[in-house]
Structure 1
Amino acid sequence: MMQNTNATSSTVKKKAAITDQQVLIAGGGHVGLSFALLLAHHGIKSTLLEKNSYPTISPQDDRTRSHYLDSRNTALSRRTVQIYQEIGLWDELQSHACRIDAVQISEQGSFGRAQLNKADEQVESFGQVMENAWLGRKLLLAAQQESLISIIDNANVIAVEQQPDGVTLSFSYYGEEEHEQQLQASLLVACDGRDSTVRQLLDIGTTTYDYQQTAIVGVVETDKPHDHVAIERFSPAGPLAVLPLTDPEGDGNEEYQQGYRRSVVWVCPKGEETRYLEDDAHFLATLQGAFGDRAGTFVNAGRRGGYPLTRVLADKQVAGRCVIMGNAAHTLHPVAGQGFNLCMRDAQVLAKMLSAQVLRGEDIGSPALLTRYEKFRQTDQKRVIRFCDAVVHGFTHPNPAIKLARNMALVAFDKLPNIKPLVANYAMGLKS
């Protein structure tokens, strides 16, 4: 079903459409929707195909949460916030985002600890935290109101065929009855997740690494207000985090009080996740043992899910007129919340390159242009991948000498001048 209206959000500043060239986007999660909105900001039309059925929402339905995504929460870096500001969407997102004013870092059972404060680094915040249910809903609503974006949900991609001057996407559509359709465009961008169908149809392989871990992700309540502090804690099982969240407007759970809700990421060895998911008391007691009194007392556990942790990297991100983006290109460990923010930087760079190509009157699907994009993004991507793996392996290695070294490094990080600004800018996505 094609959803395409002439209404536009009053907060989004648009540039006039300056090209008849179009982009097909396979995958309508956070990255796919954000990329479509970035293209629209530059006057480029797109058609977005999503295999799932989108919920019915309206601007007046602001108190209703949409749980069509999952129980996870997203940490938005300062750079990601800036990207949403640039396309005029941040005003819509901000009401459900909770800023991070400070970050505390420590290791369970060790002396090393460090803290970042926004005042010391002279920033408004280190980033924002939003529940996926809200972020996905706001992005979908903005896309549905954008005249340059057409949306087809319940669409299952079945074939990709490239021509010298375009690409054809075949998909089966589940409306009143199943039938097959085709769409043509200058460029196809695949944002269809870790197990990307488009990536497989293009015969692009992957390099994978199983961390043998499961992330337990959801929302908890503590008896101590979060004061906009994020706590990163390293345990023998893996990296853990509690992040500040906003009030639960429309959630129907009045037990959650203002400033007491937190997003939690708990990593456990694969095979041990069932009890953490099903036994609230055990989950809360385990969190208490790992975090001590840093967050106060964990008093309530909300909806949560378990996600196997595997690094999946596409062997290449460009094939002819097709680009692999988002988790289809690089699925990373959630430590430090870098994955989505890296995807947003990819999306912004490609959108700007396509806009410049249009202004030159040239083909936005040019394989040479897309190859330049892929090469340009390699430095940032490789750096983030190395950083995530170094943190995961470095803080879980049981060797006493390595443990001593990493705790001394934390102390040095906290005390030595000029180190914090570098790390803070990196974490905020301002150094790419």
Structure 2
Amino acid sequence: MLSEQQVLIVGGGHVGLSFALLLAHHGIASTLLEKNSYPTISPNDDQTRSHYLDSRNTALSRRTVQIYEEIGLWSELQSHACRIDAVQISEQGSFGRAQLNKEDEQVESFGQVMENAWLGRKLLLAAQEESLITIIDNANVTAVEQQKAGVTLRFNYYDTDEHEQELQASLLVACDGRDSTIRPLLNIGTTTYDYKQTAIVGVVQTDKPHEHVAIERFSPAGPLAVLPLTDPEGDGNDDYQKGYRRSVVWVCPTGEETQYLEDDAHFLQTLQKAFGQRAGTFVAAGRRGAYPLTRVLAKQQVDGRCVIMGNAAHTLHPVAGQGFNLCMRDAHVLAQMISAQVLKGADIGDPTLLKRYEKSRQTDQKRVIRFCDAVVHGFTHPNPAIKLARNVALIAFDKLPNIKPLIANYAMGLKS
């Protein structure tokens, strides 16, 4: 039997690694199990981008940046982050439009856009260097059993003949994604909704500098976005950088994605038609990925001494980039509650505490889920009266006082 740890974390993606680092910040040990094999990296590896246009990216809200600042990691991340100073919102073929500016809202930025590969690399390096975190990759979880005083997890290693192994802890947190292994082992069901949309995600280059402006554009097919990215070298937050790279999320009806994946010229022409000259001319596109969009919500996020977190708890539509940031707020709250238990000398896996965590996160989670669905359905509804109403609403949002600060704070994750 392996040595006992206080917390077991299943799933070593961005949320799982971040949660382990949050716990370590509070002096709490954890063992993290990941089904994939982690790459071998070191702090001295080449840190430049190997592919100018080939990368997936994540928009980090202002609150998520603050969380990484709190645990001392933002200084390691920020060289590949690009500020969002303004957000433009409009609908294709309509008159309604609005804009948020950081000066008006008196904030440093609305958030940052970062390459997933860089974020994952830095999180993994930080976890590997943290003595309070034990990492087990290539791990196949086979069983979870709960006792009155703890949780027992059994696993073996993929592609080996080693016997099943066992870990024990006071608490288990599952961050193992939309297709979670832990959820069914705990007999936790889900509610799902198929948007019948597919997101095409990639990076493009334009002939016009982005000037740290994010563009949200709504089309009959679904919501679209181009977000500012760093230049190939250096810090994307330096004012001298022009910035011609942009992250793209293009949503199309499922079944139409092949034409956008295989034909660069067609993809660029379609983007140009949808965005007009707001981003300039789209001149190059990198390799793209297609991701079917389905909302998956766990029917419960706590079962005894087990917590469901991250995409295992709520997989959302990518509109407005809220999903990962909601997960980070969940992780931050749970880490604080566990830390408070440790300071009191109390049981960190106390089911009553975990139910209190679940209840405390409901308002924020429900608000974000409702917002995402309202935007998706509201801006794709073909009814002319609804189209008129949403364009009037955009103008009202742009012109009426006190509305922008409220929406901006929610988008930045500063009100939950």
What's the TM-score bracket when you normalise by the shorter of the two chains?
over 0.9
2 CA distance for matches of 1:236 and 1:161?
48
Question: Whole-Å Cα distance in 1 between the matches of residues 140 and 208 of structure 2?
Answer: 46
1:197-218 Cα offsets, whole Å, 9 max, x none, are 0011101000000000000001
In structure 2, the residue matched to 1:27 is 11
Matching residue of 2:146 = 162
1:397 maps to 381
Helix, strand or coil: the match of 2:280? coil
- Residue 21 of structure 1 deviates from its aligned partner by 5.7
The 1:406/1:77 distance shift into structure 2, 3 A limit, reads same
SS in 1 for 2:88: strand
- For the 8 Å contact 2:211–2:242, the answer to whether it is kept is no
* CA contact 1:55–1:66 (8 Å) conserved in 2: no
Aligned identity (percent) is: 88
1:175: how far off?
Answer: 6.9
Counterpart AA for 2:303: A
Whole-Å separation in 2 of the counterparts to 1:178 and 1:122: 57
Q: Secondary structure at the match of 1:52?
A: coil
Q: Which residue of structure 2 aligns with residue 136 of structure 1?
A: 120
Partner residue of 2:301? 317
Distance in 1 (alpha carbons) for counterparts of 2:211 and 2:110: 14
SS in 2 for 1:95: helix
Structure 2 unaligned residues grouped into runs of 5+:
235-240
What amino acid maps onto 1:301 in structure 2?
A
Aligned amino acid, residue 365 of structure 2: Q
Q: Contact 1:21 / 1:44 at 8 angstroms: preserved in 2?
A: no
Tell me if structure 1 keeps the 8 A contact 2:87–2:214.
yes
Q: Secondary structure at the match of 1:303?
A: coil
| Aligned mate of 1:190, from 165, 174, 180 | 174
Q: Which residue of 1 aligns with 2:36?
A: 52
CA distance in 1, matches of 2:132, 2:50: 24
C-alpha spacing 1:324/1:66, structure 2 compared with 1 (3 Å): farther
Within the candidate set 86, 90, 96, 2:70 is matched to 86
Q: Structure 2 CA distance, aligned partners of 1:103 and 1:62?
A: 33
4+ runs deviating over 2 angstroms: 64-67, 174-179
Within 1, Cα distance between the matches of 2:242 and 2:263? 25
Distance 1:109 1:28 in 2: 43
Cα distance in structure 1, aligned partners of 2:127 and 2:312 = 21
Name 2:406's counterpart in structure 1: 422
Structure 1 match to 2:415: 431
Tell me, what secondary structure is at the counterpart of 2:381? coil
SS in 2 for 1:346: helix
How far apart are the structure 2 equivalents of 1:296 and 1:77? 26
Give the drift of 1:181.
1.1
CA drift of 1:178 comes to 4.2
Alignment partner of 1:228 is 2:212 = yes
Tell me, in whole angstroms, the C-alpha distance in 1 between the residues paired with 2:259 and 2:162.
40
Q: Name the structure 2 match of 1:269.
A: 253
Match of 1:355 in 2: 339
Deviations 1:323-347 (A, max 9, x none): 0000000000000000000000000
| Residues 281-336 of structure 1: per-residue CA shift (max 9 Å, x gap) | 11101000000000000001012100000000000000000000000000000000
**Residue 336 of structure 1: aligned partner:** 320
- Contact 1:71/1:305 (CA < 8 Å) preserved in 2? no
Cα separation, partners in 2 of 1:105 and 1:314, compared to 1, 3 Å: same
Aligned to 2:269: 285
Conservation of the 8 A alpha-carbon contact between 2:210 and 2:242:
no
Residue 259 of structure 1 is matched in structure 2 by 243
- Give 1:230 shift: 0.1
Which residue of structure 1 aligns with residue 192 of structure 2? Answer: 208
Sort the Cα spacing of 1:24 and 1:366 in 2 relative to 1 into closer, same or farther, 3 A: same
Equivalent runs, 1:375-386 vs 2, <5 Å: 375-386=359-370
Q: What is the total number of aligned residue pairs between the two structures?
A: 406
Asked whether the equivalents of residues 226 and 295 of structure 1 are also in contact (C-alpha less than 8 Å), the reply is yes
Deviates more, 1:390-399 or 1:170-179: 170-179
Looking at structure 1, the residues matched to 352 and 151 of structure 2 have their Cα atoms a distance apart, in angstroms, of 15
Residue 406 (structure 1) aligned with residue 390 (structure 2): yes
Distance 2:278 2:291 in 1: 26
Moved more, 70-79 or 113-122: 70-79
Rounded to whole Å, the distance in 1 between the matches of 2:142 and 2:182 is 8
In structure 1, how many angstroms separate the alpha carbons of the residues matched to 2:159 and 2:346?
37
Aligned position for 1:238: 222
Task: Indicate the SS of the match to 1:135.
Answer: helix
- Deviates further, 257-266 or 188-197: 257-266
Query: Would the aligned equivalents of 1:218 and 1:303 in 2 still touch at CA under 8 Å?
Result: yes
Using the alignment, how far apart are the partners of 2:278 and 2:50 within structure 1? 32
Residue matched to 2:96 = 112
Contact 1:189–1:322 (8 Å) recurs in 2: yes
Could you tell me which amino acid in structure 2 is paired with residue 287 of structure 1?
A: L
> Partner residue of 2:238?
none
**Runs of 5+ consecutive residues of structure 1 not aligned to the other structure:** 3-19, 251-256
User: Relative to structure 2, which stretch is displaced further, 171-180 or 421-430?
Assistant: 171-180
Secondary structure of the equivalent of 2:76?
A: helix
- RMSD (Å), alpha carbons: 1.6
Letter in 2 for 1:325: M
Aligned partner (choices 55, 74, 77) of residue 61 of structure 2: 77
Q: Does 1:42 align with 2:26?
A: yes
TM-score normalised to structure 1 length? 0.92
Map of 1:302 onto structure 2: 286
Contact 2:409/2:415 (CA < 8 Å) preserved in 1? Answer: yes
TM-score by length of 2: 0.95
| TM superposition shift of 1:248 | 2.6
Q: Give 1:72 shift.
A: 2.5
